[in-house]
Amino acid sequence: MKKCSVIVSCEHGLHARIAARVVEVAREHHATVHVSCAGCSRANACSILDLMRLGAGIGTRLEVVAEGPDEEAVVAALTDVFEGGGGI
C-alpha cells in the first residue's frame, strides 16, 4: 500500500474537470485508489461523483491511498494532477 498527502492547488478546487482527470489517471493503472480528506468519507478515485462529494476547495489536504501492482506510479501521477491543477 502506498499513501501520500497532496494539496489541491487549482483555484476552483476539486471541480468536475479535475475530478474527471483523476478518474482517467486512476483507471490507467492497475491499483485500487481512494482519496480522502479530514472530516470526509473516503472516495473511490474511479468515481467522479465520489470525488465531487469530497467538496475539496483550494488548499485542501487530501490523502491518496493506492494498493496494487501500479500503486507507486498512480500515486505519483495523481500527485501531479492535484498539485499541478490537472493541467487545466
Residue 87 burial by Cβ neighbours in a 10 Å radius (0-12, 13-18, 19+): exposed
Sign of the dihedral defined by the CA atoms of residues 81, 19, 40, 70, in that order: negative
- Is 15 among the catalytic positions? yes
What cell numbers appear for 36 in the block? 480522502
SS3 at position 59: coil
Q: Which of 12, 15, 29, 30 is the catalytic position?
A: 15
Q: How far is CA 3 from CA 11, 22, 32, 87, in A?
A: 24, 16, 12, 22
Could you list the active site residues? Answer: 15
